[in-house]
């Protein structure tokens, strides 16, 4: 894969899957633009550069349209292109239906669904103009099959899958592919805080016999971002160790 001067935006890049993805793209030779609503992370930039790539960290809240548009404008002024957008940022506010507050519903939709829309809408014109682009969205297996206590999260991820298919139809003629990754349970800080018996139950439901690692998802992002993946568009790739099959 030729990645000379390829530029990749990765949202939610400060930790977990996003950080692993930023490092994976750096190793592949991309210039990585790491977005997160956290403050600037010099450690992440150093890790990316140690992996052999170049990087910059930009504090961006994907739920804030003005911040997204300003960050894209600044990037285009400097690098004149965006080749890959990884819409990875996401939050959880879990509760059963009867206890789920409107504020928590709106917060998850704002980041996990509208944030994907906002970021994609901001970068799509430049991808159309250059006749090339890869947009990859973070969905979830729960967006395909539902999950107890996650009305807001499931609604957002189901919406992401729907938008992915619409954009694949709209942007394909311009050389832009749009796909989604649907991770299963992945060993992030959030999952690590779960009780041991819950983790054991997750592993028991996963045919490959383990919980996913952030690098497993990062590699899937990298695969769909490859220049040679140009005939894959509108797809939802489950990266779950066969969990859905084993359920």
Catalytic annotation present for 132: no
Tell me the per-residue pLDDT of 138-176, one tens digit each, with 9 for 90 and over: 999 999 999 889 999 999 999 999 999 999 999 999 999
Catalytic one among 30, 132, 153, 221? Answer: 153
SS3 150: strand
Strand runs (DSSP E) across 45-167, as ranges? 54-59, 84-87, 133-138
Nearest to 34 by CA among 191, 224, 186, 24: 24
Instruction: Domain ranges for the chain, please list them.
Output: 7-184+213-241
Residue 247 pLDDT greater than 80, yes or no: no
- State which fold the 7-184+213-241 domain adopts: Rossmann fold (3.40.50)
Residue 134 pLDDT greater than 90, yes or no: yes
pLDDT > 90: percent of the chain: 75
Residue 246 pLDDT greater than 50, yes or no: no
Contact 37/91 with Cβ under 8 angstroms?
Answer: no
Write phi, then psi, for 185 (nearest 5 degrees): -75, 125
Tell me how far the alpha carbon of residue 28 is from its chain's centroid: 17
């Amino acid at each position: 894969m030729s990645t000379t001067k390829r530029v990749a935006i990765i949202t939610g890049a400060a930790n977990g899957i996003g950080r692993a993805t930023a490092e994976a793209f750096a190793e592949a030779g991309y210039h990585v633009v790491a977005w997160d609503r956290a403050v600037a992370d010099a450690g992440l930039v150093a890790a990316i550069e140690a992996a052999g790539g170049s990087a910059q960290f930009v504090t961006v809240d994907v739920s804030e349209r003005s911040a997204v548009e300003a960050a894209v404008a600044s990037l285009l002024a400097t690098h004149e292109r965006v080749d890959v957008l990884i819409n990875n940022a996401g939050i959880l506010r879990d509760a059963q239906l009867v206890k789920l507050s409107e504020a928590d519903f709106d917060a998850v939709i704002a980041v996990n669904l509208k944030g994907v829309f906002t970021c994609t809408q901001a970068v799509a014109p430049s991808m159309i103009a250059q006749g090339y682009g890869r947009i990859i969205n973070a969905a979830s297996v729960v967006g395909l099959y539902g999950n107890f206590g996650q009305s807001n999260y499931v609604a957002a991820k189901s919406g992401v899958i729907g938008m992915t298919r619409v954009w694949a139809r709209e942007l394909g003629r311009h050389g832009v592919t749009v796909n989604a990754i649907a991770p299963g349970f992945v060993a992030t800080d959030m999952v690590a805080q779960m009780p041991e018996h819950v983790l054991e139950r997750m592993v028991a439901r996963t045919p490959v016999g383990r919980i996913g690692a952030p690098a497993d998802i990062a590699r899937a992002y990298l695969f769909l971002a490859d220049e040679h993946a140009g005939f894959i568009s509108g797809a939802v790739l489950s990266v779950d160790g066969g969990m859905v099959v084993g359920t």
